[in-house]
Amino acid sequence: MRFFLNSCQGQKIAYESDVIGATLYNDVTVEEAKILIDKSDNIYIVDVRTQNEFNAGHIKGAVQIPVDEFEKAVNEGKIPPGKTVLIYCQSGNRSSRAADMLGKTGYNNVKDQSVNNMIGGFGEWQLKGYPVEYQSNSRVLFGISCASVSPYILLSGDSAMAIFN
């Protein structure tokens, strides 16, 4: 016997037999993720790091959903259907948990949509020199966010000094 899994709107998502044993998500390298972002106009980028990590720098266009809140977001339908979803964290560990959660819904096994975990994470993204976007006035200096310290940073040789108002 074969039956359909249906969305809340009654649309066919996948056959149950297609989901069982299917790939829950795809691991992609940072280079492959960059290509997905550059070539797709149908991508939904999810950063599952904390708010502070996100503020200190993220991939342009990313939506921040902390991994601890990801399952709730999926259950509430906050991941849009019909998208190539790219999930990342700092190293790839938290994002693999989130990708697994989304993959278990059958999302990866429907035409025109996929779940992708960026292995290597944002840390490797930065090492490659790929573009980084910052939230509000936050900037990263020597690997730490300076937004909570001071908006004014003086650089002199190998040292930095924050100026407090």
Question: What does the pLDDT look like over 3-15, one tens digit per residue?
Answer: 334 444 444 344 3
Q: Are residues 108 and 164 in the same domain?
A: no
Q: Are residues 83 and 160 in the same domain?
A: no
What's the mean pLDDT in 82-109?
A: 93
Burial of 145 (0-12, 13-18, 19+ CB in 10 A): middle
- In this predicted model, which residue has the larger pLDDT, 159 or 106? 106
Compute the mean pLDDT over every residue in the chain, rounded to the nearest whole number. 78
Q: Are residues 19 and 100 in the same domain?
A: yes
Q: Are residues 121 and 56 in the same domain?
A: yes
Q: What is the pLDDT of residue 22?
A: 60
Q: How many CA atoms lie within 13 A of 22 on its CB side?
A: 20
Q: What is the pLDDT of residue 143?
A: 45
Return the sign of the alpha-carbon dihedral for residues 141, 147, 149, 151: positive
Task: Place 21 in a pLDDT band, splitting at 50, 70 and 90.
Answer: low
- In this predicted model, which residue has the larger pLDDT, 75 or 140? 75
Q: Are residues 25 and 56 in the same domain?
A: yes
Q: Are residues 30 and 108 in the same domain?
A: yes
Q: Are residues 78 and 19 in the same domain?
A: yes
What's the mean pLDDT in 104-122?
A: 90
What residue ranges in 17-158 does DSSP mark as E strands?
Answer: 26-28, 43-47, 63-64, 84-88, 114-118, 140-141, 144-145, 152-156
Block residue for tokens 């959660």: 101
Q: Are residues 155 and 141 in the same domain?
A: yes
Block residue for tokens 């708010």: 51
- In this predicted model, which residue has the larger pLDDT, 19 or 112? 112
Return the sign of the alpha-carbon dihedral for residues 89, 91, 95, 97: negative
Q: Are residues 127 and 147 in the same domain?
A: no
Q: Are residues 86 and 148 in the same domain?
A: no
Most confident of 38-42, 106-110, 141-145: 38-42
- In this predicted model, which residue has the larger pLDDT, 75 or 143? 75
Q: Are residues 127 and 142 in the same domain?
A: no
Count of the separate structural domains present in the chain: 2
Q: Are residues 112 and 52 in the same domain?
A: yes
Q: What is the pLDDT of residue 141?
A: 46
Structural domain boundaries, residue 151: 137-165
Strands 84-88 and 114-118 come out as: parallel
